[in-house]
C-alpha cells in the first residue's frame, strides 16, 4: 500500500458541500463538547468529518476492468464550525466590565456590535456552546475570508450541532484514494522451467514475466452524488536482478511464454549455476523484480490528469539455475 500522506491540503479548487458539521464525528475541544475540530485522519479511522466511499479496480488491457475492493474513508474539511465557549463563559468574558473590555481593541469590537447575536440570552447557560466558524491555517484566503465572516451559532445542550457548509478540496479525495491504493504484487514466472525442479539453465535466455499482476490500477474516492476523484496508477517498468545474471530493465510486466512464441519482452541470462557442490539438493538464486509505478488523478468534472506520487513494489522468487553437461563421443 502506498505510504500515508496528510489528507488536508489547501488549493484554490474547492467545492462547497452541505453536510453535517464535523461535530457529529469528532470528539470536540476537550472530548465532551461535541466539538468540530477535525483530527488527523486516515482511511478507515472512523473519526473524520466527511465519509468517502473508495473502490479499487484493475485493468489488464482489452477494455476489461475488474473491481477488486471497496472501503470507506474519512476526510477533514478546510473549514468547519467548532465548539467554543459556553453561554456563561462567553457572557462573562464580554460583558461590560469583563476581561475583554480591559482591552481597548476588544472593547471597540464589542462597541461596534460585533459580538455573537443575543449573547445575553445565554448568560447563565453553562451546558450549551457557541459554535464558531473555523478554518485550517493554510486554507486559501478566498475560502477562509467568507467563511470566517459567518455568524457563530449557539447550540443548547442536547441539541444536534449545526448543519454547516463544509469546504472540501478535490485533491483531498485524491489523497484519500492514493492512501488506500493497493498495488498488485504478482508472482514471478520464468521459462525454461525444468520439470521437477523449476530450474532454468546456465547461458540460456530466461523468459520472465509477472503472473497475476495488472499494469493499470484505478482507485476512486467519492462523496456520493457530490464529488469524486480517481487516481490512476500505471506500471511503467520492471527491473530484474538475479545472482549471476546482472540487472535487466523491462518496459512492462513481461509476456507469458507460450510454445512457438517469438522474442521475449523481458528476459535475463544466468552465467553460472546456483549449485555449490555441497548438497544433493539444487540450491537457488534469488530473482528480484521491482515494479515502477507512476500515478495521476482527475475528477469527473475535470478529466485533466494531474501528477501524484507513484510507488515501487518488489517481488522475489528463488530460482534454481542448472548447468547441463553434454558429452561428445568419437567413433
pLDDT tens by residue, 150-168: 889 999 999 887 655 566 7
- Co-location of 116 and 215 in the same domain: no
- Co-location of 66 and 130 in the same domain: yes
Residue with cell 538464486: 285
- Co-location of 153 and 190 in the same domain: no
pTM listed for this prediction: 0.64
Taking the chain, what is the end-to-end CA distance rounded to the nearest angstrom?
Answer: 64
- Co-location of 133 and 190 in the same domain: no
- Co-location of 231 and 311 in the same domain: yes
Cβ pair 268, 240 in contact under 8 A: yes
- Print the domain residue range for 157: 15-174
- Co-location of 193 and 162 in the same domain: no
Sign of the C-alpha dihedral computed for residues 61, 293, 180 and 171 taken in this order:
negative
The Cα 114–Cα 152 span in angstroms is 11
The SS3 of residue 232 is strand
- Residue 181 vs residues 4, 67, 211, 224: alpha-carbon distances, Å: 10, 13, 20, 19
- Co-location of 163 and 217 in the same domain: no
- Co-location of 106 and 228 in the same domain: no
* pLDDT score for 325: 64
- Co-location of 192 and 167 in the same domain: no
6 lies in some domain: no
> pLDDT band at 134, cuts 50/70/90?
confident
- Co-location of 262 and 233 in the same domain: yes
1 lies in some domain: no
Residue 281 has pLDDT above 80, yes or no: no
Give which of 218, 271, 214, 207 is closest to 240, Cα–Cα: 207
* pLDDT score for 65: 75
* pLDDT score for 32: 39
Question: Stretch 139-150: mean pLDDT, rounded?
Answer: 85
Number of domains in the chain: 2
- Co-location of 111 and 249 in the same domain: no
Amino acid at each position: 500500500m502506498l505510504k500515508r500522506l496528510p489528507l488536508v491540503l489547501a488549493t484554490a479548487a474547492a467545492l462547497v458541500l452541505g453536510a453535517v458539521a464535523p461535530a457529529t464525528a469528532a470528539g470536540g475541544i476537550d472530548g465532551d463538547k461535541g466539538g468540530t475540530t477535525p483530527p488527523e485522519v486516515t482511511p478507515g479511522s472512523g473519526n473524520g468529518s466527511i465519509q468517502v466511499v473508495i473502490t479499487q479496480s484493475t485493468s489488464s488491457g482489452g477494455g476489461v476492468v475488474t473491481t477488486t475492493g471497496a472501503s470507506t474513508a474519512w476526510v477533514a474539511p478546510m473549514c468547519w464550525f467548532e465548539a467554543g465557549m459556553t453561554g456563561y463563559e462567553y457572557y462573562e468574558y464580554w460583558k461590560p466590565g469583563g476581561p475583554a473590555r480591559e482591552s481597548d481593541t476588544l472593547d471597540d469590537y464589542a462597541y461596534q456590535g460585533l459580538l455573537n447575536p443575543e449573547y445575553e440570552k445565554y448568560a447563565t447557560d453553562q451546558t450549551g456552546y457557541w459554535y464558531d466558524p473555523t478554518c485550517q491555517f493554510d486554507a486559501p484566503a478566498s475560502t477562509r475570508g467568507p467563511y470566517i465572516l459567518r455568524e457563530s451559532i449557539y447550540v443548547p445542550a442536547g441539541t444536534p450541532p449545526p448543519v454547516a457548509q463544509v469546504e472540501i478540496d478535490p485533491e483531498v479525495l485524491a489523497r484519500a484514494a492514493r492512501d488506500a491504493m493497493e498495488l498488485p504484487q504478482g508472482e514471478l514466472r520464468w521459462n525454461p522451467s525444468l520439470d521437477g525442479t523449476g530450474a532454468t539453465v546456465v547461458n540460456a535466455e530466461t523468459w520472465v514475466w509477472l503472473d497475476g499482476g495488472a499494469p493499470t490500477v484505478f482507485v476512486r474516492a467519492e462523496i456520493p452524488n457530490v464529488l469524486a476523484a480517481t487516481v490512476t496508477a500505471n506500471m511503467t517498468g520492471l527491473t530484474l536482478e538475479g545472482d549471476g545474471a546482472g540487472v535487466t530493465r523491462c518496459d512492462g510486466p513481461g509476456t507469458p511464454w507460450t510454445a512457438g512464441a517469438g522474442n521475449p519482452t523481458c528476459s535475463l541470462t544466468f552465467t553460472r549455476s546456483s549449485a555449490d557442490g555441497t548438497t544433493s539438493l539444487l540450491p537457488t538464486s534469488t530473482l528480484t523484480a521491482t515494479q515502477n509505478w507512476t500515478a495521476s488523478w482527475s475528477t469527473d468534472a475535470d478529466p485533466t490528469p494531474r501528477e501524484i506520487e507513484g510507488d515501487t513494489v518488489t517481488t522475489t522468487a528463488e530460482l534454481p539455475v542448472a548447468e547441463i553437461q553434454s558429452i561428445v563421443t568419437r567413433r
